[in-house]
Structure 1
Amino acid sequence: MAEEAEIAIESRLRSAGLRPTRQRVALGDLLFAKGDRHLTVEELHEEAVAAGVPVSLATVYNTLHQFTEAGLIRVLAVESTKTYFDTNVSDHHHFFIEGQNEVLDIPISNLTIGNLPEPPRGMEIAHVDVVIRLRRKQQ
């Protein structure tokens, strides 16, 4: 089963124009094996260390940015100090639970965006990210 997953990750990387190095395959397997999720560089690094994948924090950072450039994942900047990487690249928006640093998907059908500004000449809107911040109600 693990071998099949590795082959699927290798194929996915090749299809995105990336060479399936040992570290990319290992990180891709960790990243995509659990379905749609939101992870920071540090969280994926911790998972890699726990799984016995010998990889530096810098390598995880570089790999996630390579995956982003290849369209395999997308960046979600929630706070100026924390960036999440989202394995769901479809159009959707997010809830961010303050104090818990948790990101949840909002299906695109639950939110309508209107009255977008006209982009400057020669430009087009590529994507609209909406992050709705949540916190526990004060008693």
Structure 2
Amino acid sequence: MSTNENIVIVAEKDVDVAAIRHGRQPTLTGCPWHDVNEMLQSVGLRPTRQRMALGWLLFGKGARHLTAEMLYEEATIAKVPVSLATVYNTLNQLTDAGLLRQVSVDGTKTYFDTNVTAHHHFYLENNHELVDIPDPHLVLQKMPNVPEGYEISRIDMVVRLRKKR
């Protein structure tokens, strides 16, 4: 049985390739193979079998936050034959291409966010879970002075939450 036969396609919807090219999040409710193929090709990545399968797992469930280990576990359950190193490499390639957003927590845990629009996160310490902050109007009032020769490329705010004791 090929990898394509192991994955059930939930919904048929065309990828908003123009949104990807302009740095906006495409609207996806299910991600058929041809959509993943278009996403990869639109950013200059070759649609290998492993990239296609990992892309389907990543983008087929809407906006979400995953670590490499979480994606590797999903791939294992879906019987996608990939190594953890391949998962890391693919996540980094997709991030470099602008299809994912990397969010670091504690410097030891890195999440990959399928929502590449500008937004911030809550980190639920007890659950080790990253969730979007729903307020799009959240504003950082004062920016730090940037060293000469540098510019701010992106601001990632992670607000850490824990259950009250």
Partner of 2:36: 9
Aligned-pair identity (%): 57
Query: Cα–Cα, structure 1 residues 127 and 108, in superposed 2: closer, same or farther, change >3 Å?
Result: farther
**Structure 1 residues 119, 108: closer, same or farther in 2, change over 3 A?**
farther
* Partner amino acid, structure 1, of 2:133: I
SS of the residue corresponding to residue 74 of structure 2 reads helix
Contact 1:91 1:108 in 2 (8 A): no
Question: TM-score by structure 2 length?
Answer: 0.79
Unaligned runs of 5+ in 1: none
In 1, the alpha carbon distance for the partners of 2:34 and 2:154 equals 31
Deviation at 1:108, TM superposition (A): 5.1
Counterpart of 1:111 (choices 124, 127, 138) is 138
More divergent stretch after superposition (97-106 vs 110-119): 110-119
1-side partners of 2:154 and 2:135: how far apart? 12
| Within-5 A mapping of 1:95-106 | 95-106=122-133
Q: Which residue of 1 aligns with 2:29?
A: none
Q: Distance in 1 between matches of 2:125 and 2:63?
A: 20
Asked if 1:130 is matched to 2:153, the reply is no
Instruction: For residue 12 of structure 1, report the CA deviation from its aligned partner.
Output: 0.3
TM-score computed with the length of structure 1 as normaliser: 0.93
More strand by share: 1
For 1:91-120, what per-residue CA distance to the aligned partner results, in whole angstroms no more than 9, with x for missing partners?
A: 000000112101110135241112102322
Number of aligned residues = 138
Shift of 1:79: 2.0
Whether contact under 8 Å (1:76, 1:86) holds in the other structure is: yes
User: Corresponding residue for 2:26?
Assistant: none
For residue 100 of structure 1, what is the amino acid of its counterpart? N
1:93 and 2:120 matched: yes
Structure 1, residues 35-71: CA drift from partner, whole Å, max 9, x if none? 0100000000000010010000000000000000000
